[in-house]
Amino acid sequence: MNTYKLGVVGLGEGRSIMSAAISSTRWELVQVCDINPAVCELRAEEFGFDQWTTDYGELLSNPAIDVVAIYSPDQLHLPHMIQALQAGKHVICTKPMLTSLEGANELLELAGRSGKHVFVGQSSRFFEPMIRQRADFERGRHGSIQTVEAHYIADSRWFLNKPWSRQKGFSWMYNFMIHAVDLVRWYLPGALEVTGYGNVSGNSRQYGLETWDSMRLLIRDEEGRIGQISGSYTLPALGSEVEPGIGCVIRGTMGSSRAEYSNLLYHTRFEGEGRKTYSFENKRDYYFRFEGNSHHAGEYQNYIDYFAECLDNGAKPLPDAEEAVVTLALMAAMERTMQEGGKPVRVDELLRENGLAHLRSSYGTRP
Ligand SMILES: NC(=O)c1ccc[n+]([C@@H]2O[C@H](COP(=O)([O-])OP(=O)(O)OC[C@H]3O[C@@H](n4cnc5c(N)ncnc54)[C@H](O)[C@@H]3O)[C@@H](O)[C@H]2O)c1
């Protein structure tokens, strides 16, 4: 078992991966970077860790770093990943890997040539109830899956205080709804076609935003299975006691299950059993280490430890850049159906138009 050496750029939510690396036995935190020295000083004090820089180039030229973890604003992920790969580092990039399919080809080519891994931190896959649901799915406990429904619904107007959320490249779909999109595609990797609607509420317009803030979409895969994805981000929410912020429901011929975030709950009804609810409340302090529930330290620790295991075994950590690009193609198809009043759009179409048709043959068979 090796110990891997981590550098981090972007210390807002990057705070969570600092905590994860410091707590993990598999990682050593070597250096961190934020363009804002006040944020660096804040984190230095919080973690007693003073190896910081405001110069990303300096972090990349640090020979002690094996892996660079990117938590900068969405619009900077592409240049930051390219620079890290060119510097010979493995990459962990938070979601969304990119804000559109622009640059996807260049990134895949560079990642392929570099021989380094690009792993995308889809944190929801690594939350306890979702981990348990996946294990039941892999054991075949749902029987033949018929539908997968995922939602991410939260009043996230607070997020619009971040300057980059009002700049080109930000959208509720790519930044927020991607959690629900990724969960559905994880179970229906061969998503073929999508239809749906989106709207912009007066609440978004008050912030000068013209990006869909409520979206409802239906997906069909190669075998006719149905996925449903819902998101609303600027409307008063019912609160997690009534409605978990993120939920993933799988319904199959032998059972149904629902995994919830940020409730640490997992509900099942499998054939031969009554309904069961599993609570992982005893892990609350592991998942939520700072104030409130608005960060992801536990999920990040789970995924960096998984990444370390993959490096040990020479395995490819998933989702990788290719899988993330297929999710982006699905989101581009979602955008198109919403623009075209619900006309069904095929994911293939978007892959082909962007010179990515070669991904089509592999993505349906990914685990
Ligand atoms: N569930 C999750 O995995 C999750 C949760 C929250 C945020 N995120 C992702 O993390 C990223 C950052 O979001 P956030 O909420 O922390 O935003 P934030 O604005 O709070 O933090 C971003 C940080 O990046 C720094 N920065 C900006 N430009 C930089 C540059 N050129 N070089 C170095 N540092 C730079 C800023 O100073 C800031 O401190 C986003 O991509 C977001 O989607 C993921």
CATH code for the domain in which residue 247 is found: 3.30.360.10
- pLDDT exceeds cutoff 60 at 365: no
Domain end call among 124, 152, 168: 124
The 3-class SS string of 161-220 reads: HCHHHHCCCCCHHHHHHHHHHHHHHHHCCCEEEEEEEEECCHHHHCCCCCCCCEEEEEEE
Q: What is the DSSP letter of 341?
A: T
116 falls within a domain: yes
Pocket, ligand 1, Cβ cutoff 6 A: 9-13, 33-36, 39, 56, 71-74, 76, 94-95, 121, 123, 162, 175, 296
Q: Is the pTM of this model over 0.85?
A: yes
> Is the domain of 176 the same as that of 154?
yes
pLDDT tens digits for 306-338? 999 999 999 999 999 999 999 999 999 999 999
Indicate the number of domains in the chain. Answer: 2
Displacement of CA 221 from its chain's centroid (Å): 21
pLDDT tens digits for 199-247? 999 999 998 888 999 999 999 998 999 999 999 999 999 988 899 999 9
Nearest to 287 by CA among 326, 325, 261, 314: 261
> Is the domain of 118 the same as that of 173?
no
Domain end call among 97, 124, 151: 124
71 falls within a domain: yes
> Is the domain of 63 the same as that of 16?
yes
- pLDDT exceeds cutoff 80 at 277: yes
pLDDT tens digits for 115-130? 999 999 999 999 999 9
277 falls within a domain: yes
Which of 60, 80, 94 is the pocket-test mutation for ligand 1 (most atoms within 8 Å of CB)? 94
Task: Give residue 71 CA to ligand 1 midpoint distance, Å.
Answer: 5
> Is the domain of 146 the same as that of 88?
no
293 falls within a domain: no
Task: Give residue 354 CA to ligand 1 midpoint distance, Å.
Answer: 27
pLDDT tens digits for 135-187? 999 999 999 999 999 999 999 999 998 889 888 888 999 999 999 999 999 99
Domain end call among 124, 158, 191: 124
> Is the domain of 232 the same as that of 275?
yes
The DSSP code sequence of 242-296 is: TS-SEEEEEEETTEEEEEEESS-EEEEEETTS-EEEEE-GGGHHHH--SSTT---
> Is the domain of 136 the same as that of 211?
yes
Which of 32, 35, 54, 56 is the pocket-test mutation for ligand 1 (most atoms within 8 Å of CB)? 35
pLDDT tens digits for 16-74? 999 999 999 999 999 999 999 999 999 999 999 999 999 999 999 999 999 999 999 99
How far is CA 139 from each of CA 74, 144, 211, 297, rounded to the nearest angstrom? Answer: 36, 12, 40, 28
What is residue 12's predicted lDDT score, i.e. its pLDDT? Answer: 97
> Is the domain of 94 the same as that of 161?
no
For the chain, give the number of residues: 367
The residue segments making up the domain with residue 13 are: 4-124
223 falls within a domain: yes
Task: Give residue 253 CA to ligand 1 midpoint distance, Å.
Answer: 42
92 falls within a domain: yes
| Residue nearest to ligand 1 atom 2, measured at CA | 123
How far is CA 254 from each of CA 133, 146, 259, rounded to the nearest angstrom? Answer: 14, 10, 17
Task: Give residue 298 CA to ligand 1 midpoint distance, Å.
Answer: 18
> Is the domain of 93 the same as that of 104?
yes
Displacement of CA 333 from its chain's centroid (Å): 18
How far is CA 227 from each of CA 94, 270, 360, 366, rounded to the nearest angstrom? Answer: 24, 20, 19, 17
Cα-trace Rg, the chain? 20
> Is the domain of 277 the same as that of 336?
yes
Task: Give residue 37 CA to ligand 1 midpoint distance, Å.
Answer: 14
Task: Give residue 147 CA to ligand 1 midpoint distance, Å.
Answer: 34
Residue 222: how many CB atoms within 10 A of its CB?
Answer: 12
Classify burial at 172, counting beta carbons within 10 Å of its beta carbon; exposed 0-12, middle 13-18, buried 19 or more.
buried
